[in-house]
Amino acid sequence: MAPVLDRPYPTCPETQPSCVRPPRVWRTLDMMPGLNGLRTPPRRPGGPPVTPRRTVLAALAAAPVLLAGCAGPRALSPPDVALADVRFLRAGLFQQEVDLLLSVGNPNPEPMPLTGLRVALTVNGQPLARGYADRTATLPRLSTVTIPVRARIDSVDLVRQILTLGNRSGVDYVLSGEAFGPSTGRGGLPFRSTGSLDVLSGETGPALTPL
């Protein structure tokens, strides 16, 4: 079928070489020779045409939302752990058994499940005690609880600390370790706190330093 023109196409007589034919005005792109199949982009009802550029922009705008939906839960911050007290349980020839009472704080806005603790106590720069707690507990959000950790002290290390104390009125200690839970992996959440103990007055001055 021949294309339909918007207006008649006049013929120029051969006797008038200067006759200029007006350009053809096609109703649609489909009617133009050589451009069959090139159509106007589709329109959404009541909206602008959907072009490839608009499609790309829409995909880029939706990418952050999709990534946020695929992301896992937010990682928990390490607990704040401080040494609250030391209780001697049993004295032996080679080892002393003690309970390290730890003040464990949860700085996260959601509960923190724990399955165990591993701690090390250093006094005046020398290792003194190591302990473990295999227990399941859930720390309430934004709160602090006391957890006992059974530890052992070598008698040689204890005697060395007594001898080096001398006339010093206080000792400095470092408590470090890891807190384990369902989502912490094998490495656990590391923690570290420092403090001092005035031997004469019995006053302590802990300073939390979470990693």
Tell me: do 194 and 145 sit in the same domain: yes
In a domain, 87, yes or no: yes
Final residue in a domain of this structure, among 70, 96, 125 = 70
Same domain, 169 and 199: yes
Residues 93, 42: one domain? no
Tell which residue, 110, 113, 102, 94, has the closest CA to residue 173: 102
Task: Tell me the pLDDT tens digit for each residue of 37-96.
Answer: 445 555 556 655 555 666 656 666 665 555 544 544 567 899 999 999 999 999 888 999
What pLDDT sits at residue 57?
62
Chosen domain end from 41, 70, 99: 70
Q: How many separate domains does the chain show? A: 2
Domain finish residue from 18, 42, 70? 70
The Cα-based distances of 184 to 75, 79, 172, 209 in angstroms read 9, 12, 30, 19
Residue 133's domain comprises 80-208
Q: Is residue 55 part of a domain?
A: yes
Q: Is residue 143 part of a domain?
A: yes
Over residues 13-27, the pLDDT tens digits come to 656 655 655 555 545
Within a domain: residue 23? no
Q: Is residue 115 part of a domain?
A: yes
Asked, for residue 1, whether it belongs to a domain, the answer is no
pLDDT of residue 34: 53
